[in-house]
Amino acid sequence: MEIIASPPATATTRPQWLIVHYHRPDGDYADWVLHAWGDLAPGADRRYPDGAPFAGEDAWGRFAWVRLADDAKEVGFLILGRQGAKDVEADRWVTLSEGSEIWVTAGERRVGTEPPELPQPGEETVVIHYRRPGGDYAGWGLHCWEGVPVTEKTRWHRPHMPTRFDAFGAVFEVRVRPDAVGLRYVLHRGEEKDLADDQRLDLTVAREAWLVAGVAQPVRPDVGTLGPEIDPARAYAVFIDRGTVALPEWFASRAVSFTLGSLPLVPRPGGLFQEQSRRFPHLRAYRAFAVRELGDVALGEMLRGRLLVAGHDSAGEVVALTAVQLQGVLDDLYASAAGAELGPVVDDQERPRLSVWAPTARTVELELFREPGEEPRVLAMERDDVTGVWSITGKRKWINRWYRFRVQVWQPAAQRMVTTSVTDPYSVSLATDSTHSQLVDLSDPALCPPGWADAVRPEAVPPARMQISEVSVRDFSIADVTVPADERGTYLAFTRHSSAGMRHLRSLAEAGLTHVHLLPVNDFATVPDRRADQAAPLCDLASFPPDSTEQQRAVMAVADTDGFNWGYDPWHWTTPEGSYATDPAGTARIVELRAAVAALHTAGLRVVLDVVYNHTMGDGLDRFSVLDRIVPGYYHRLLADGSTAESSCCPNTATEHTMMGRLVVDSLVTWAREYRIDGFRFDLMGHHPRANILQARAALDRLRPDIALYGEGWNFGEVAYDARFAQATQVNMAGTGIGTFNDRLRDAIRGGAAFGDDPAVRGFATGLGAAVPLWLHDQIKVGLSGALATFRFVAHDGVEHSGAQIGYHGAPAGYAHQPGEAVNYVDAHDNEILYDAMAFKLPPGISQVDRARMQVLALSLVVLSQGAAFVALGTERLRSKSLDRNSYNSGDWFNQIRWDPALGNGFGVGLPPEADNGDKWDWARPLLGDPALVPSPDVIELAAERYRELLRIRRSSPVFGLPTAEEVERRLTFPAGGPGEQPGVIVMCLDGSGLDPHWARLVVVFNATDGTVRPAIPGPDRLRLHPELTGSIDPVLRAATAFEVPRRSVAVFVDDIP
């Protein structure tokens, strides 16, 4: 909410063009040209009667343009017909000091220098006109980011294409935010850019521009350049500490001297110091400039306003201008803020205190509300100049009241000083739809469910023995008719002991499931909190055919206003999401989430939260922006030009900066302490520094050392290959005890990759059968070892290799130092759920029962592997999302768990949403239309019970889930390995001697072929079927022996201790 704004800064440049607007009432411009002479750029003058065509088109009529000389003062012109006829006989002259853009009407001598009143683009529209003199527009598009709504931001390979064409050329109409002050863009065709540099249109100057291909200077507006060299809205300078400013080489070479505000910058030979290069490795090639060190107060004052670096030529003219990135100097100046009190705190005398870090703010005031809709009482907050923290201590009666901070700060996104009202980034309770923070005491007994004080959590589980099931709060119960209607899709559904969902979870816990992983339950941005405000599809979705487009059309029509989203769009990180509470206004969400945790603990399950600290939903003055309204440019990771990095598809946070890293740790500790959370899964953990995750580990260890940590250790984006810091990637986290998802095993089991174009590519368990290449066996064996880098075995080439020597797309298949550092999985909330992946891949005509067996085989490679095992809840029941590969916003229809197997498994409920799946519709249609692919209730139950059998088998012996690499290397073997191994059959032996009280050896046979096999097992005579399988729900397994293992199955055998 913007309250006050000072006028934006403007800049002027010498004119580049003479622009002549020409209006002909008859509308016929075909034979008319602008013939000009005088102070024109070399080559711009043409021989009489030739001239520049009136190729530009606007609401006045047409316009022509000619390039001016650098020192142009006066230009003469005639408007001529092609045969030399003059529109007006007399020569006319333009004095450029009075203006370089004129308006004339056919047959009239008058020359207008003031623009006429003409229709302008709407407040939320920017128009880019693009002219290619050769007329080739095929494939040219507009990639844009700054200023556009999140939903309008383009991807490089899918730019905006022209809305229309006019006489000038292509016309791009782009929707922008109402508060946008700039539009950054690139015109490109594939990897070919029109101009090398990103361009920026200052929307405070113009909302429409005319550009000529390959020419940096726009024809209109005549501002000289839209490039980066003189643009105070971009921030190429980096103030890395109180004594150093770093400038990129290209910028530093444009001028002979530079100033930071009024302070001269002194070039420092040799560049950054070694310690500076270690802190900012992405700046190593920058030139370093020393700046005179100021006292703390003076430096702090300078950082509280607009700060520019100006470059001057030898004549003292400004030839380079840029804003300054401040994160480094803020961390340097306010280092003591790392230990300062932040957020709402109630002391031992029940006096509330509020504190917020806002070192660059001019003022911060507290807006205190009795109720969210009322006028606030505005109270001054006190600034601590040492920490940059503003705080206020209140009275006991403030507890449970609502508040916001009123912050006045220089806002780069607006290019002016702005005062905004913003919620607390350390909020622990919120009003409906997150409009206000609430001042509460989380230790208040009134915020605890009955029995909370005495509740007992399940015993701790070592990382290598974790069995995890992932689910969204809403998916879990939104379709569960055994839950009261008003509690479906809420935290309280977990407290319904006798519901279908909780009965199922308890059955899994009794079999050996150890953890429930909840998709994000912190406050997120994209769902209305109140059920009454949540839209629903306006038709009977069940009435359409199974391969129809109508279901997805109706679902997506309300997708942005319905009650469903995965929740990876964080708004406030340490407050429970309001839409999952029966009453989202205030503290009910706290009580109900605690009740859900207690209920899951009672069921024997520890609770993991999915946390998303790597990005926010908005930055700048966006509605969902919090951090960037308080300390603009600090909490988000900035690219070289000062724009926010968005490799996560949203504004990336900068957890390498002290206070953002601290926020992560503080939030995690609050969840663990106040909600008794047992583990955390980090979304895009590779976008965090390794140091940040280790800080979190240390802080949680001080609270409770049995809290599990794991995450996505992917390596991509602006931080890839440790470009800015040592990332928390798979390889880098090895040896820390913190887990990472093992995509190597996933892809080997499923086939293809997460983002492959062909969904029918098969893997070990999805239809390759006897055609499995033996190198794929190697990848699976490394996965079965817990992705250990040091695990050695005989590979398909007959040579002994370690896990690190087995390749995976140029990376090692084995990367972990201990088995508990691998989280093995075959599906999760994103990409196709396992049943859907198999629908694309398995051979046509395979029976329902065999499909279930193949699904169980895939799950067995995860459940029976070393390391942690992770499964999307419902996969054990053949859950489907009707082939939706990215169901984050696909509504309840595609995401719900159908607990009544008579209603199917979710397959064949319509084609999945077109935006992310349309390119696969031709594959999907025949599959969704095949009723044989909807499993019957008995097949669903067979799969679920087989999964429980696997869990019980894993729990039956300590050889599954060995704690150390040394133990795995000593006890795990693959005796049939080498070039003679039978394709599609893997024999895994586990030595239980001295460890397992019952069995000296366990042997697992994974048979992915479509026939009975005779596995090569040493000493088969001593083996008998695992007791769990002698009464298996699948009758073919009951007859399995070490000499014959049935098709498409996993069989486990035991060797009794003599």
Please check whether residue 550 is in contact with residue 406, taking contact to mean a CB–CB distance below 8 angstroms. Answer: no
Residues of 103-125 as b/e, b for ≥16 C-beta within 10 angstroms? bbbbeeeebeeeeeeeeeeeeee
Name the burial class of residue 289, with classes exposed (0-12), middle (13-18) and buried (19+) by CB atoms within 10 angstroms of its CB: buried
Cβ neighbours, 10 Å, residue 1: 12
Helix, strand, coil % (nearest 5) of the chain? Answer: 25, 25, 45
- DSSP letters for 180-230: --EEEEEEEETTEESSSS-EEEETTT-SEEEEETT-SS-SBS--S-SSSTE
User: Who's near 881: CB < 8 A, 6+ residues apart?
Assistant: 832, 833, 836, 887, 890, 894, 895, 906, 912
Cβ neighbours, 10 Å, residue 721: 8
Identify which of 1016, 1013, 1023, 1026 has the alpha carbon closest to the alpha carbon of residue 975. 1016
Identify which of 822, 840, 695, 703 has the alpha carbon closest to the alpha carbon of residue 766. 840
User: Exactly one of 222, 331, 424, 712 is catalytic; which is it?
Assistant: 712
Kind and range of the H or E run holding 32 = strand 32-38
Question: Could you tell me how far CA 546 lies from the centroid of its own chain?
Answer: 32
Structure tokens at 870: 């992770």
Question: Could you tell me how far CA 942 lies from the centroid of its own chain?
Answer: 37
712 is catalytic: yes
Calculate Rg over the CA atoms of the chain.
33
CA pair distance 263, 307, nearest whole angstrom? 11
The conformation of residue 57, written as its DSSP 8-state character, comes to E
**Backbone phi and psi for residue 260, each to the nearest 5 degrees, phi listed first:** -105, 105
Q: In 3-state terms, what secondary structure has residue 1004?
A: strand
CA pair distance 429, 442, nearest whole angstrom? 9
First-to-last alpha carbon distance for the chain, in angstroms, is: 76
Tokens 């609050």 sit at which residue? 670
Paired sense of beta strands 807-808 and 811-812, if any: antiparallel
Identify which of 1057, 1011, 1016 has the alpha carbon closest to the alpha carbon of residue 1036. 1011
Cβ-defined contacts of 830-834 (< 8 Å, 24+): 830/754, 830/886, 830/888, 831/754, 831/885, 831/886, 832/759, 832/881, 832/883, 832/884, 832/885, 833/872, 833/874, 833/875, 833/879, 833/880, 833/881, 834/750, 834/858, 834/859, 834/872, 834/875
683 is catalytic: yes
User: Exactly one of 365, 441, 683, 743 is catalytic; which is it?
Assistant: 683
Identify which of 99, 104, 90 has the alpha carbon closest to the alpha carbon of residue 54. 104
Structure tokens at 608: 């993991």
Please check whether residue 664 is in contact with residue 696, taking contact to mean a CB–CB distance below 8 angstroms. Answer: yes
Q: What is the dihedral of CA 711, 712, 717, 722, to 10 degrees?
A: 60
CA pair distance 753, 755, nearest whole angstrom? 6
Strands annotated E in 506-652: 515-518, 522-524, 570-576, 606-611
Q: How many CA atoms lie within 13 A of 452 on its CB side?
A: 21
CA distances from 476 to 482, 498, 500, 942, 1006 (A): 12, 14, 10, 21, 31
CA pair distance 1016, 1007, nearest whole angstrom? 12
Q: How many CA atoms lie within 13 A of 652 on its CB side?
A: 24
Catalytic residue list: 683, 712
